[in-house]
Amino acid sequence: MHELSIALNIVELAGEEAARGGYTRVQAVHLRLGRAAGVVKEALASAYELAREGSAVAESELKIEEVAVQIFCPRCKVERPAVSDVEPQCADCGTSSTQVVAGRELEVYALEVLE
């Protein structure tokens, strides 16, 4: 159940950011979730419903934006999508890469506040 730990972290972080900005009503928490972050979107969404209860962001909805895996292709010399979420190979030329530049995000991106 590591999604629950992650959800609790999100609630805590969003609460801190809301307090810092003086926002009393947070309508939604926007999350950027990499497809290779090792977190299951559906499991996280239901864990969030538990985690937010009684918190400073109890009314908030979790909006998850998934981020596809991108690599830096050593052959094409540019950032390219990976062939799959699992394999860091260039979707264009198939070359393997050790540099994943996107797809592991676990980031609270924005708060949707009412003021």
Partner 1 sequence: MTPRLVEVRQQILKKNDATARALRERFRQEGTFVVSLVSSPGAGKTSLLCEILRRLGAEYRVSALVGDLATDNDARRLAATGAAVRQIVTGTVCHLEAAMVERALEGDADFEQPWRLDELDFLFIENVGNLVCPASYDLGEDLRLVLVSTTEGEDKPLKYPTIFHTADVCVLTKMDLADAAGFDRAAMLDAIGRVRPGMRVIETSVRNGAGVVELIELVARGRACGAGLQPETNFGTGL
Task: Note whether 79 binds partner 1 by CB under 8 A.
Answer: no
**Interface mask (CB under 8 A) for partner 1, residues 95-114, using x and -?**
-xxxxxxx-xxxxxxxxxxx
Query: Measured from the CB atom, is 10 or 56 closer to partner 1?
Result: 10
Cα–Cα distances in Å, from 12 out to 17, 49, 70, 90, 102?
9, 14, 29, 37, 25
Torsion of CA 115, 109, 65, 46, to 10 degrees: -70
Contact present, 52 and 15 (Cβ < 8 Å): no
Task: Note whether 37 binds partner 1 by CB under 8 A.
Answer: yes
27 binds, among Zn ion, partner 1, none (CB under 5 to 8 A by kind): partner 1
Task: Note whether 93 binds partner 1 by CB under 8 A.
Answer: no
Cα–Cα distances in Å, from 84 out to 18, 72, 90, 94?
36, 14, 9, 11
- Measured between alpha carbons, how far is 66 from 33 in angstroms, rounded to an integer? 5
Query: Measured from the CB atom, is 60 or 97 closer to Zn ion?
Result: 97
- Residue ranges binding partner 1 (CB under 8 A): 1-2, 5-6, 9-10, 13-14, 17, 21, 23, 27-28, 30-31, 36-39, 85-89, 96-102, 104-115
